[in-house]
Each structure stands twice: as C-alpha cells, then as structure tokens.
Amino acid sequence: MEILWAPWRMEYVSSDNKGECIFCPGEDRNQDEQRLILCIGNLSIILMNRFPYINGHLLIAPLRHVSSLDALSAEEKLDLITQVEKSIGVLKEALRPEGFNVGLNLGKVAGAGVEDHIHFHIVPRWEGDTNYMTVFGEVRVIPEHIQETYRKLLPFFK
C-alpha cells in the first residue's frame, strides 16, 4: 500500500467551522488571508479554492446565499460574470496561463462541493499541466504553495 501524506488536511478535518459557508464572508476581515479571500465587492466574493485542481484556481460567488441561477437578480448575474472576466484578466497578468476552464457545478450529482451557495470555478491551464499522476495515481500535483499563489494574486484584487 502506498501512502500519500497530506498533514495540512487535518486542520480542515478537525475544524469546528465545517458548518459555516465558505462563500459567506461575515464581518471579520482579519481572517481573509487565512480563508484565501481575495476580494469582496458589493455583490460578490472572489477567493482561492483551498483544494485546487491547479495553482490559481479561483471561486467566485454572489454574496447572497443562494443555490441557483434563477434565484439571482439581473444585477447579481451581471456582477458575477464581470468578476469572472476580471479574475481571468488578473490570472493572465499574474500567472500567465495559456487557457482556462470556467464553469458552475449545479447540484451535488454535478460535483458541487458547496451546493447551497452557487459559485463559478476559474481554473487556469498550461500546456502540459496534467500528467500521469492524476490519471494513474488519482493524485494532483500543485506546483506552487497555495499561500505563495495568494500573495501573487492579492495585489491585483486591491
């Protein structure tokens, strides 16, 4: 049997905050870096995915806790797509990816990890960024520490 050590997961596994929604920012801005929050606007929030497919994987959600597109106002929908566009621009400048996967996972069966708060995924892609580890070993290789990527992206969202 092979063992893959991921001691950083213990913080999440033993956390008392599992019931809190990661997309609801609350009032305390002192935890933004720990929560990987890059930007809180009037209608939406941009944060990094704590369990990314690759470095720079961003999540964009409305501030209002809703689970479907039809529950959003026209203004919220426009703001979300505007923030998606802004985030793609930031990632292009900061990380220089060659492409992007952008999408929504609507419902648990579609892969939504947080199904009661709708959110977009923006996944930067580079030629050759996938390798045999994911296919054969069911392991993701992230080439940069998540805090380093956070430090690179944060100035672009200020």
Residue with tokens 């390798």: 131
User: How far apart (Å, rounded) are the C-alpha atoms in residues 139 and 131?
Assistant: 10
Residues 100 and 96: their CA atoms lie apart, in Å, by 11
| Range 18-21 contact pairs with CB under 8 angstroms and sequence separation of 24 or more | 21/65, 21/114, 21/116, 21/117
The verdict on whether 119 is a catalytic residue reads yes
* Beta strand extents in 1-158 (DSSP E only): 37-40, 44-48, 58-62, 99-104, 120-125
The C-alpha atoms of residue 30 and residue 17 are separated, in whole angstroms, by 16
How many helices (H) and strands (E) the chain has is answered by 4, 5
Candidate list 57, 117, 119, 121, residue with the active-site label: 119
Report the catalytic residues. Answer: 119
